[in-house]
Each structure stands twice: as structure tokens, then as C-alpha cells.
Structure 1
Amino acid sequence: MALTTSTMIQNIPCTLVTGFLGAGKTTVINQLLSSKPADERWALLINEFGRIGIDGALLASAQENNVDTGSIAIREVSGGCICCTSQLPLQIAITRLLSDHRPQRLIIEPTGLAHPRELIQQLSAPHWQTALNMQAVITVLSGGQWQQQKYRSHDGFQAHVRDADVLVINRYMQLSENERQALQEWITRLNPDVTTIWTESEPHTVDDRSNKITALNTASSMLIAQLTKPSHTISRQRSADKSQPNDETRISLQPLIRQPLTGLMSNQSIENNESHDDIASDTELPYRYHEQQQDMLLGGWRLPAHYVFNADGLQEWLLKLPNWQRIKGMVHTSDGWLKINFTPDSLTITTTSAHIDSRLEVILQTDNDLPIDNVRSTISLSKDDWQAYDQQLMALVLEDRL
């Protein structure tokens, strides 16, 4: 069956929210969702780099964020980057969201290791131009990450800035005035046309095209205003595409073939990088996977909800993992159900309602002192290493509440 947009709603406003791993995209997306009118249906497509499926749960609940999440359809595409595997997972996910939920607005959050240019090229394709009305590309940048040479000299980190219409800068309060000025100059060199929004306590924005500070609105209101501003980045890409020879091919939809899922103690890694949503949704628990992608080591666990973990011990164990770049989870602990969201410059633990299972996912950088592209497995975890992690994690179970 060929993929078409004939049965879809047309001209759906669509916003792409990008940012390097750990930049703080979830916070920005929550701000955008908080602006949803009560009578509108929105959809959110989340691309997770791992296979467990946690990012959707990390979004604030209706009680925590005063958002009518009943009218927000959330779909997760797990197991790889939708921009660098193939176009098929992205097209399937968008098609299902538009046809099944008929939203009035779509927000797409790619994984933090995505390649924005490739994703923008996909969304600029002719078969999406009638279905999606692409709004400003919003990119989130962490001032704390930029402060480190290994990030600001890394091409993947810079790529997010180059392809942004709007750059949202957060976690910058520790920067000196000279560093903030240097950050602004660095941004301007990479993308002189980008509009910069400084979050947190500063209620102003900087428009690099005029180099004037605008204090007419708060950062939050300026962010929300981007939902209705067209994307100059995508317009340029579409113009470039039109100048190329027309070699469009239609993509046929084929049934998704799910990989066999392994139990916690079988200790098999998943080798290929196909993107499947809800890949671990029907596997027998406890379950663990591990793999290596783009010089990152990934591992994740899904565990029965009746396992109750030592809250303090779990946090201590997670923070001792080697060269961790991101830790996220939703876990039943001695302090109740907790949402865990760790980046090297932000540790967040909050309470949440009970879930059907506990989930943990860790992303380990192969070396903390070198740009990711130049590293070749300085850290290499074997089957025995992951099996040891299984045992250490299970040792933190205080009781089994069946």
C-alpha cells in the first residue's frame, strides 16, 4: 500500500523541537503544551533513542501541569533516530497520528542525537507539504553544555544551532556576562538569522537579525508565539529541493517486524537499529536490553511494578555509572513512584502516580573528555558487565509487593 496524504487532515501546524542530548527539550515542550486551548486536539510525536519508552511518561501529567492531556495524543517511536535510519518509521508515525487522532496541531521531538538537517529534509518532502504546515524550528541549547569545549566544538552540537529558526537557551545562569556575550557571538557565527530566547529569569529576547533586545514579552510568551510563525529554515530547504531534479519515489508501507525480546537474565544485546514504537510493550518482565549506537552505550530495564527499590541506593548506584550522559526513569521506590531525569548539569527527581511497570534507561558516553565523533569505544561494556549491573540493580529491591 502506498503512503498518501489524501485521507489526512490538510495543513496541520507542525513544530519541530530539537536539541542535543540533555539540552532540556522536555521542559520546553511542556511549556508549549501548557498553551493548548481546552477545545483543541494536539498530537506529540517523540523519538526515543533507546527502546524502553520513557520520554512520554516524563511529560507532566494533567494534574502536575494543568494540561488537558486527554486531548493530547502522544506517540513514541523508540529504538533509533527517525532521521538517520530510514524515512519509513517517521512516515508511519505521522500518518497514524494524523489519521487516527486528527489533531489540530502536531509537535515532533526527535532524539537528542538526531541530525536536524536530515529530518528537515524529510519534512520538506512534497508528500508532506499539503499535510503539514511547518512552523518555526525550535532548538533548545543548554548554557551549561556550551560552557564545555567538548560540546561547543562538536559538529553534532553545532548542527542543532545551524538549522534552528529559534534558539531557546536555558541553564545559563552560571555563565558570566563575558561568557554570555561569547555564547551569543558563537551562535551568530553559526546562524546569523536565528532568533534567540533566553529562558529562566530574564524576560527578554534577542533578535540577531536586528541585534536589538526586545522586552515586550516574557520568554515564555515569546516561546509560545513560535507555534504560529513559519519556518524560514524549512522554506529554504523546500526551495533548494525544487531546484534539484525530481526523483521522488513512493514508499510502500509494510508490516513492522518486531525483534524477539529477551529476558533480563538472558543478557543478549540488540544489534540492529530499526525504529519500532512500543518495542518492549508486550515482553515478559523483567526485561533488559543493551546496545551501542553512534559511539554511545545504551541500556534499559523494564521491571515489574511490585518490585520496590531503595530510593537512596538507586540514585547512588545510577550516579556511579561510568561516563553517563543521560539517565531517565519511572521507578517504584521506598519513597513512592519517582520520575528520574538526570543530565550532567541537571538532576531532577519528582513524585508521580503509579505505573504498570518500572522503567530505567541509561546512555553512557564512551569518553567524557573527547568529542563523541572522535571516540572509539574507550568504554566498552561486555556481557558480564551488563550482567553485573543486573545483579546490582536487583540488590536494591527492598521488597516484592505481589
Structure 2
Amino acid sequence: MSAPYPLVIVNLLLGFLGVGKTTAIRHLLGHKPANERWAVLVNEFGDVGVDGKVLGDTGIVVKQVAGGCMCCASGPVTRVALNQLIRQERPDRLLIEPSGLGHPKTILALLQDDSYRTVLRVQSPLTLVDARQVVQSRYQNHALYVEQILLAGALVLNKSDLADSHTQRAAEAWLATQRPEVALFTVEQGQVDLDWFLNADESPRVSVATQAATAELPVLDWRSIPAAPTAEQWVRAERNADGYFSVGWRMPAQTVWRTHDLLAWVHSIHAVRLKAVMCMDDGWRLINVVDGALSIVSFPAQQEAVLELILDHALDSKEAEVELRRCTLVN
């Protein structure tokens, strides 16, 4: 494709599950130069998708590709979403948040495809990491985790307020052995600086084998949210790939959960990652769980509730739904 417009600057924010990529994107959007037009492309491992809602109130155009890595099973759909954003929005800058389980080399290869050579200017990615994950051997030995670090133009040690000084130093030392040549920034709450992208070199070209598409998946534009489930309907979606399993639900907005019971259910699931936007007995909340650590913050009322689990073990989703329904005020 060709376009008589300046090249669209593309910034990828890489990072494993739960490192705070969506929070960082929100921070960047809050500091967008007034004279620039931005757009966001979000990819989630699960089919329900929560991040699109979290970013949907920023006033920036957000498209979401749900269901696996954006360049594997979702590759053709990613191209459609990317092309739509370029043609319809003509952004000066495109922020891309791949799934924490995405394959970054494949993502870069798609963006550097010859068809985008005269359209996109891909800058080196920023990779967010959490010191508490960095120091664990299961992350240090995880191929995707290491690949995200090796492809970074700069590394961002996020959630520094949640790690003790010993963990912080150990994480910095290990990262220095992997990428001694790149800048390492330390932040809290995703406070990424746009200059870290601007000062990064152009992304080096990568070459990977083309992977055939295995599924046709929907692209969700959060300016026109699909019809919410009816009062009696819960929509469940499941997926598994790369040794991980996802189960997600879209549920009616009028459903209200008992906070104590829901949190007990959340802890019983032992999810690697849980994200939800739900109406609790004290109001709408955004719920996050990463490696057992829980956070809950207030959130604007929505047209529907959503919850998504990512697990490293199979789950009886029907039984999980029965237990989840028992946590509602009316079940």
C-alpha cells in the first residue's frame, strides 16, 4: 500500500504478562503533544479483551485484535486493523501493545514488510519489565520473555515502588548481563517518557518464517462496542497456545458481584493473570491480578462487564462459571 502522507511513527511497547503495558500506554496518551494525531492497536491473548475498555475513555482511537499473538493466528486480522487505522485515522504516531505472550520478532517482521516500507517508520521497541519477575529463573529461562528483552531499544524497569532494594539491584544486574548496551530506566506506575522512544534508533530489520493463519478473528473498535449481553446471557470464550490457557466472559452490566465472595473466587483460581472490569457491591472496579498480587481501583460504569483469566494450567470453565455466578447478588 502507498500513501501521500508522512510516514506513521510506530512505537511498540513490549513486556510480559502483568508488567503494566496498558498503564504505560494510558500515561503516554495523557502526555500526547497537542499537535499530533495518535492511534492505538492493542493485542490480547484471550478472545474477550479487557485492555480496549481500559483505554477506551482516553479520546484516542483504539483498535483491538483479540485471540492469540497478533502475528500468528491473528496475522491477517492484524493487517486489516493496521490498514484501517492508517487509512481512516491518518495518525502521526501509532502505539502498539502486543500481548505479553506475543512473538515480538514476528510482530516486527510484519511491520517491516515491504508493503509498509513507504508507510511506517518503526522505532526500536521499549520493553517493560517488573523486577519481581526478572529475578525469577522461570522468567529468565522463558524464550518469549528473553526475546522481548533482546529486541528492546531501551528497557523500562516498571513498578519500582513494589520491589525491595535487593530485588531491584538483582534485576538490574541480570538485565545488564543481557543488554549492557541499552538504556535502563526505572519508573513507577507506567510513567514512560515519550523521549525514550524518540531517542531510540530505528528498529533493526528482522526476518522470520511466515506463519500461516489458523483462525479468522474479529477486530473490535471501541468507539462502537458490540451489543452487550442480554440480562440473562453470559458469553464465554476460551483459547490455549504456547502452554497457556485463557478463559474470558462478557456479562450484563446490571450484574453485581459481592466483593468478598468474588475475591475469594479470584484467589482460588490461581491465574497467572486476571483482568476484569465489573460492578461490585460498592461500584464499578478495574481488577488486576499478577502472580497472585491483587489490585482494585475505581472505574467508570460500562455497557457490560468483562473478565479474562490467563493460566498455566487447564481449567474446567463451566465449573468456574458456576462458581463465578454464585458470587453475584442475584444468581
Query: Which residue in the other structure is 1:229 paired with?
Result: 199
Distance 1:180 1:96 in 2: 41
* Range with greater deviation from structure 2 (11-20 or 339-348): 339-348
Of 74, 81, 104, which residue of structure 1 is paired with 2:92?
104
Aligned to 1:200: 188
Deviations 1:202-223 (A, max 9, x none): xxxxxxxxxxxxxxxxx95x72
Cross-structure match for 1:389:
320
Aligned-pair CA distance for 1:178:
5.4
- How has the CA–CA distance of structure 1 residues 178 and 314 changed in structure 2, closer, same or farther, with 3 Å as cutoff? closer
- Deviation at 1:85? 2.6
**CA shift at 1:275, angstroms?**
3.6
Q: How big is the shift at 1:388?
A: 1.5
Call closer, same or farther: CA 1:136–1:316 in 2, change over 3 Å: same
After TM superposition, the score normalised by the length of structure 2 is 0.88
Shifted more, 129-138 versus 103-112: the winner is: 129-138
Aligned equivalent of 2:61, options 73, 76, 79: 73
Deviation at 1:32? Answer: 1.3
Checking the alignment, whether the CA contact within 8 Å between 2:126 and 2:153 is kept in structure 1 is yes
- 2:52 aligned with 1:56, yes or no? yes
Asked whether the equivalents of residues 135 and 229 of structure 1 are also in contact (C-alpha less than 8 Å), the reply is: no
- 1:351 matched residue in structure 2: 298
Structure label with greater radius of gyration: 1
**Residue type at the aligned position of 1:277:** V
- Structure possessing the higher relative contact order (Cα contacts under 8 Å, 6 or more residues apart): 2
CA RMSD in angstroms comes to: 2.9
Separation of aligned partners in 1, 2:249 and 2:293:
22
Q: State the match for 1:296 in structure 2.
A: 244
Q: Deviations over 1:168-202 (max 9, x none)?
A: 0023456565554443332233223221101139x
TM-score by length of 1: 0.73
Q: Say if 2:12 is the partner of 1:22.
A: no
Aligned to 2:70: 82
Tell me, in whole angstroms, the C-alpha distance in 1 between the residues paired with 2:162 and 2:9. 36
Q: Give 2:146's aligned amino acid.
A: Q
* Separation (CA, whole Å) in 1 of partners of 2:215 and 2:296: 30
Give the share of equivalent positions with the same residue, in percent.
30
- Please give the per-residue CA displacement for 1:119-166, whole angstroms capped at 9, x wherever unaligned: 112212222222112223111001011122211222221111100001
The Cα shift of 1:281 comes to 3.3
Q: What does residue range 159-308 of structure 1 map to in structure 2 within 5 Å?
A: 159-173=147-161, 179-200=167-188, 220=191, 223-232=193-202, 234=203, 236-237=204-205, 273-278=215-220, 281-282=226-227, 284=229, 285-308=233-256
Residue 290 of structure 1: CA displacement? 2.1
Report the counterpart of residue 136 of structure 2 in structure 1.
148
Does the 8 Å CA contact 1:142/1:172 hold for their aligned counterparts?
Answer: yes
How much has 1:394 moved relative to structure 2?
Answer: 1.3
Structure 1 residues 7 and 174: alpha-carbon distance in aligned structure 2, compared to 1, 3 A threshold: closer
Q: Which amino acid is the alignment partner of residue 220 of structure 2?
A: D
1:286 to partner: Cα distance: 1.6
CA distance in 1: counterparts of 2:173 and 2:298, whole angstroms: 40
1-structure distance, mates of 2:182, 2:304? 42
> In structure 2, what is the equivalent of residue 341 of structure 1?
288
C-alpha displacement of 1:328: 0.5
What CA distance in whole angstroms lies between the structure 2 residues aligned with 1:139 and 1:310? Answer: 37
Q: Give the corresponding residue for 1:205.
A: none
- Residues 19-66 of structure 1 show CA distances to partners (whole Å, capped at 9, x for unaligned) of 0111111122122112112343210000011111210222384xxxxx
In the alignment, which residue of structure 2 is the partner of 1:261?
Answer: none
Does the residue aligned with 2:238 lie in a helix, a strand or coil?
strand
- Length, aligned pairs only: 324
Whole-angstrom distance in 1 between the partners of 2:258 and 2:4: 48
Distance in 1 (CA, whole Å) between partners of 2:292 and 2:319 is 27
Residues 128 and 360 of structure 1: is their aligned pair in 2 closer, same or farther, counting only changes over 3 Å? same
2:102 to 114, 123, 128: 114
Q: Which runs of 5+ in 1 are unaligned?
A: 62-68, 202-218, 257-271, 367-379
The offset of 1:308, in angstroms, is 1.3
